């Protein structure tokens, strides 16, 4: 049976199900008892609350999937603080885990239409894309990138192949993950990230047939260190969700160690490794108990690099590392696919968004790499709010899509995502 962590009227949390792993219960109750105000190793931020554990000011700007406003106002804005959070009654771990995986897929599929555009342009397009009668924003796909509605990009495909490998093997098998990666490479992905491609370039058309399992891993790692040591591409973040789901009944340490090992296969930069460790920790925390402040605290304390800690600190007050969106030209312009943008915006909307749709659309409104940024935000918000808080039309679009891509590489089919999540929660040991 899965645990349900509920917030009572007096502010306390209680476990509302039997069969809760004792270690998990004690670990979570210890974090809850500490509270956000107690043990923060964090200082104040400029233009932020006096301490980072104080309630966040009501200055968040976000949108809803069903909001329609006059044309002279692009969107109606909603405001909340992290202290306003109240979990839905009896949202189970399996609902939150399904929400995390499908939330990532939905964010990716919704964001692909607005990829690599400025925030202002995206907001105009979103307003035009809303249905006239209801104001709902459907997943429309992208003719520019040849994405039919419901198709996801390379990052979420990477997430799915890692999830299926873990499910198939009953745990993380690096040889199986690498074998899946090489098959994926040969399947002609729609837009394969150069970072992953570089690591898998082994000098032969039959790469995995010419090496033992250990030799294959070592050769891929050597490639990654040689070609990707400076890479801070956001593609690495996409593997956090299946690791967090599979690690619910494990420990943070076990999950983060495995996450680090997988990330080092393609992106050995300490910042990339740290970012995935932090994201995995946050998603796992939300699956155990969907308190965004506790997930933030746990993730921050897990961070080992100044780079990632700084993005976590900034995420409490703003969604983007730069003043405007990532297409704004400046002397210090960040790369569009920089992982710090995806990570910071995801944690910002985790702390501020009142609904799943509000946060994901708000993230897309920033412009830039709207597929990966919205995918990571969707994973965190799906874990927080649960599956049923993701608009049904969005879920149906990604799960019912039958695409030519699915025939060529079935691992990326999303129709059985619910069953996949259940296997990751019940049949896997990390």
pTM over 0.95: no
pLDDT at 33 over 70: no
Task: Determine whether the annotation assigns residue 371 to a binding site.
Answer: no
| Alpha carbon separation from 145 to 1, 149, 180, 312 (Å, rounded) | 43, 11, 25, 32
DSSP string covering 58-103: S------TT----TTSS-------GGG--PPTT--HHHHHHHHHHH
pLDDT tens figures, 12-29:
444 444 344 444 545 544
Q: Are 428 and 167 in contact (CB under 8 A)?
A: yes
CATH code of the domain containing 171 = 1.10.4080.10
pLDDT tens figures, 362-386:
999 999 999 999 999 999 999 999 9
Q: What is the DSSP letter of 15?
A: E
Q: How many domains does the chain have?
A: 1
* Encoded tokens for 93: 């771990």
Task: Determine whether the annotation assigns residue 372 to a binding site.
Answer: yes
**What CA–CA distance (Å, rounded) separates 36 from 40?**
7
**Bridge partner residues of 117 (DSSP):** 368
pLDDT at 333 over 90: no
Confidence label for 417 from pLDDT (cuts 50, 70 and 90) = very high
pLDDT tens figures, 240-283:
999 999 999 999 999 999 999 999 999 999 999 999 999 999 99
Flag the least confident range among 141-150, 204-213, 222-231: 204-213
* Encoded tokens for 81: 């603080």
pLDDT at 415: 93
Mean pLDDT of the chain, nearest integer: 82
Confidence label for 44 from pLDDT (cuts 50, 70 and 90) = very low
pLDDT at 265: 96
Confidence label for 87 from pLDDT (cuts 50, 70 and 90) = very low
**What CA–CA distance (Å, rounded) separates 140 from 147?**
9
Average pLDDT on 119-146 reads 91
Q: Which domain holds residue 126?
A: 5-426
Confidence label for 178 from pLDDT (cuts 50, 70 and 90) = very high
Q: 135 in helix, strand or coil?
A: coil
Averaging pLDDT over each range in 53-67, 73-87, 166-180, which range is the top one? 166-180
- Angle (CA) 377-380-386 rounded to 5° is 120
**What CA–CA distance (Å, rounded) separates 61 from 269?**
33
pLDDT at 66: 59
Task: Determine whether the annotation assigns residue 214 to a binding site.
Answer: no
- Residues near 304 by Cβ (< 8 Å), separated by ≥ 6? 270, 274, 277
Q: Report CA Rg, the chain.
A: 20
């Amino acid at each position: 049976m899965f645990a349900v962590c509920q917030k009572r009227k007096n502010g306390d949390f209680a476990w509302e199900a039997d069969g809760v792993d004792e270690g998990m219960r004690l670990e979570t109750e210890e974090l809850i008892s500490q509270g956000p105000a107690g043990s923060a190793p964090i200082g104040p931020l400029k233009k932020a609350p006096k301490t980072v554990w104080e309630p966040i000011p009501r200055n968040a700007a976000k949108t809803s999937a069903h909001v329609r406003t006059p044309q002279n106002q692009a969107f109606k804005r909603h405001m909340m603080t992290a202290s306003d959070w109240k979990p839905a009654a009896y949202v189970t771990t399996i609902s939150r885990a399904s929400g995390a995986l499908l939330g990532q897929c939905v964010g990716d599929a919704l964001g692909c239409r607005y990829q690599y555009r400025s925030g202002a342009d995206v907001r105009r397009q979103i307003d035009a894309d809303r249905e006239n009668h209801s104001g709902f924003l459907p997943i429309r796909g992208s003719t520019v990138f040849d994405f039919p509605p419901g198709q996801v990009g390379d990052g979420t495909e990477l997430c799915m192949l890692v999830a299926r490998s873990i499910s198939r093997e009953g745990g993380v098998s690096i040889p199986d993950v690498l074998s899946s990666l090489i098959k994926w490479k040969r399947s002609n992905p729609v837009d394969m990230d150069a970072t992953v491609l570089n690591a898998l370039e082994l000098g032969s058309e039959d790469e995995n047939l010419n090496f033992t399992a250990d030799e294959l891993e070592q050769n891929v790692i050597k490639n990654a260190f040689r070609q990707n040591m400076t890479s801070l591409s956001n593609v690495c973040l996409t593997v956090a969700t299946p690791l967090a789901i599979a690690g619910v009944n494990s420990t943070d340490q076990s999950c983060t160690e495995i996450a680090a090992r997988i990330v080092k296969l393609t992106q050995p930069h300490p910042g990339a490794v740290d970012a995935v460790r932090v994201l995995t920790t946050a998603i796992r925390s939300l699956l155990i108990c969907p308190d965004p402040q506790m997930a933030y605290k746990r993730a921050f304390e897990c961070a080992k690099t100044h780079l990632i800690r700084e993005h976590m600190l900034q995420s409490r007050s703003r969604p983007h590392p730069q003043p405007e969106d990532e297409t704004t030209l400046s002397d210090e312009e960040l790369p569009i696919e920089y992982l710090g943008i995806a990570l910071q915006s995801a944690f910002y909307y985790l702390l501020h968004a009142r609904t799943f749709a509000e946060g994901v659309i708000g993230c897309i409104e920033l412009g830039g790499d709207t597929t990966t940024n919205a995918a990571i935000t969707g994973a965190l918000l799906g874990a927080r709010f649960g599956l049923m808080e993701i608009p049904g039309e969005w879920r149906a679009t990604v799960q019912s899509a039958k695409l030519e891509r699915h025939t060529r590489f079935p691992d990326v089919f999303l129709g059985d995502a619910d069953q996949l999540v259940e296997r990751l929660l019940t049949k896997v040991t990390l």
